């Protein structure tokens, strides 16, 4: 059975439009409370969940709605306030809670918001649990008796706990003294956290994107808009720039010359360093969007490599299946399972800094051996539910492109999980050939969509 509301990263949409409404979110809180914490309460014991959020103004409304639903289900609620998504995963695990809930739409604009869940172990929920919660949404709310209602309380030390956790993932014998860093927090959930982590490890920190007003999250700052970071690194003559997204689970970095490095390049730096240290367990997981040059680099280093579906939850599932520890996406989600149970932008940045300090290298030197292939992505609007992938003309255009690439590139057609779009991606060594191939396939799809 497919999921009705949950996408690849929880439930997300425009605030005020179904399902991101107070009524739905209250129902969701109740259904989640029954599924995650259990419908039956052992006398003397109470189930509890943690709620964290990013800096969107709509978070106040959705937090109250979630609270109401959870409390009606007899579940206690800890409120962490604005805090990164990976912090919720960490605190849920260490506080021995039944679940963690994040109110965030990650890198989306402030008009959007969403709800995502973590299990007691700090992992994303499996599809089966999300389906169970969705089934519960069809049931009426049956409020617990007054003596069984949940309670809500503020978790006052959430930020300090998480800062110490992040610092604890960095080698105790190493520090960042002598480094000047520009840290861009996207006016998001790390605005009061990230600079403290790097500063307390010894770095000189210039922080930008740290003045959230409820409406400016991801607006011109952060991992999806790194131009201000690139300028700031050059202006301040910094050694590195670090950009996080609105909820703190995504990372991109900038070197001293203002050059941007994506998730594939940062994952390469971490993987190579771990292999050199003899600390790479198994192989590395990427996604269907991971650059082909990364795969070839792993082959040269004799590191096993596998591709998961797009989405950090699927990277996680494949890592667990293979009993590996390292994986990520080119968008900047990097997972180091020996450090954390989920992707964490701050922890990932510290892993890169660990590699640079250990080898006495700049980021440009550490990532220099990985030359990414040109990758062209064209989004083609199609009718909702239209099956382009099975059409003969589309198949023929893909076969023609693959023949032209002659093993020196690849073609990927992927329907969007959130919009009526077909994503046409072509990559390879020859930029002109890649661009031509992508455009030809996109033109065929456009013609079909218009007919």
Which positions are catalytic? Answer: 106
Q: What is the 3-state secondary structure (H, E, C) of 304-332?
A: CEEEECCCHHHHHHHHHHHCCCEEECCCC
Instruction: Give the C-alpha distances (Å, rounded to integers) separating 91 from 85, 160, 250, 323.
Output: 10, 11, 19, 24
Rounded to whole angstroms, the Cα distance separating 117 from 377 reads 30
Rounded to whole angstroms, the Cα distance separating 416 from 424 reads 10
Lay out the sheet containing 409-415: strands in order across.
375-381, 421-428, 409-415
Q: Tokens standing for 256? A: 């001293």
Rounded to whole angstroms, the Cα distance separating 307 from 65 reads 38
Rounded to whole angstroms, the Cα distance separating 244 from 185 reads 5
What phi and psi, each to the nearest 5 degrees, are found at residue 340? -155, 160
Strand, helix or coil for residue 427 = strand
Rounded to whole angstroms, the Cα distance separating 195 from 182 reads 9
Rounded to whole angstroms, the Cα distance separating 166 from 347 reads 6
Rounded to whole angstroms, the Cα distance separating 202 from 195 reads 11
The DSSP secondary structure of 264-278, one letter per residue, reads HHHHHHHHHHHHHTT
Asked whether the CA dihedral 185, 187, 188, 194 is positive or negative, the reply is positive
How is residue 282 annotated by DSSP? S
Q: Tokens standing for 327? A: 């994986």
């Amino acid at each position: 059975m497919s999921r009705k509301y949950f996408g690849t990263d929880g439930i997300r949409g425009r605030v005020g439009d179904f399902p991101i409404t107070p009524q739905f979110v209250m129902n969701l809180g109740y259904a989640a409370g029954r599924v995650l914490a259990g419908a039956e309460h052992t006398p003397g014991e109470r189930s509890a969940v943690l709620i964290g959020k990013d800096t969107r103004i709509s978070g106040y409304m959705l937090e109250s709605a979630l609270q109401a639903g959870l409390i009606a289900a007899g579940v206690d609620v800890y409120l962490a306030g604005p805090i990164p998504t990976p912090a919720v995963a960490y605190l849920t695990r260490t506080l021995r809670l039944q679940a963690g809930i994040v109110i965030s739409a990650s890198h989306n604009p402030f008009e959007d918001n969403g709800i995502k869940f973590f299990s007691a172990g700090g992992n994303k929920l499996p599809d089966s649990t999300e389906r169970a919660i969705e089934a519960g949404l069809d049931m009426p709310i049956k409020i617990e008796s007054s003596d069984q209602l949940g309670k809500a309380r503020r978790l006052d030390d959430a930020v300090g706990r998480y800062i110490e956790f992040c610092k604890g993932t960095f080698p105790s014998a190493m520090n960042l003294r002598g480094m000047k860093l520009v840290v861009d927090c996207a006016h998001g959930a790390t605005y009061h956290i990230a600079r403290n982590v790097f500063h307390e490890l010894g770095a000189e920190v210039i922080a930008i994107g740290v003045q959230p007003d409820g409406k400016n999250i991801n607006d011109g700052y952060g991992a999806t808009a790194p131009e201000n970071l690139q300028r700031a690194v050059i202006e301040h003559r910094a050694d590195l720039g670090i950009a996080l997204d609105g909820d703190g689970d995504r990372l991109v970095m900038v070197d001293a010359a203002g050059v941007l490095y994506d998730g594939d390049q940062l994952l390469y730096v971490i993987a190579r360093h771990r292999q050199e240290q003899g600390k790479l367990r198994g192989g590395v997981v990427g996604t269907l969007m991971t650059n082909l040059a990364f795969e070839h680099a792993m082959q040269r280093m004799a590191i096993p490599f596998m591709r998961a579906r797009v989405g950090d939850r699927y990277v996680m599932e494949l890592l667990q299946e293979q009993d590996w520890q390292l994986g990520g996406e080119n968008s900047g989600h990097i997972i180091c399972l020996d450090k954390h149970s989920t992707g964490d932008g701050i922890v990932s940045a510290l892993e890169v800094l660990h590699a640079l300090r250990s080898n006495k290298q700049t980021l440009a030197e550490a990532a220099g051996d990985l030359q990414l292939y040109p990758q062209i992505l064209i989004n083609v609007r199609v009718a909702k539910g239209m099956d382009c992938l099975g059409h003969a003309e589309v198949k023929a255009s893909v076969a023609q492109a693959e023949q032209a690439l002659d093993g020196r590139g690849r073609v990927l057609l992927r329907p969007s999980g959130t919009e009526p779009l077909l994503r046409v991606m072509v990559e390879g060594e020859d930029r002109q050939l890649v661009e031509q191939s992508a455009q030809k396939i996109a033109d065929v799809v456009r013609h079909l969509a218009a007919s």
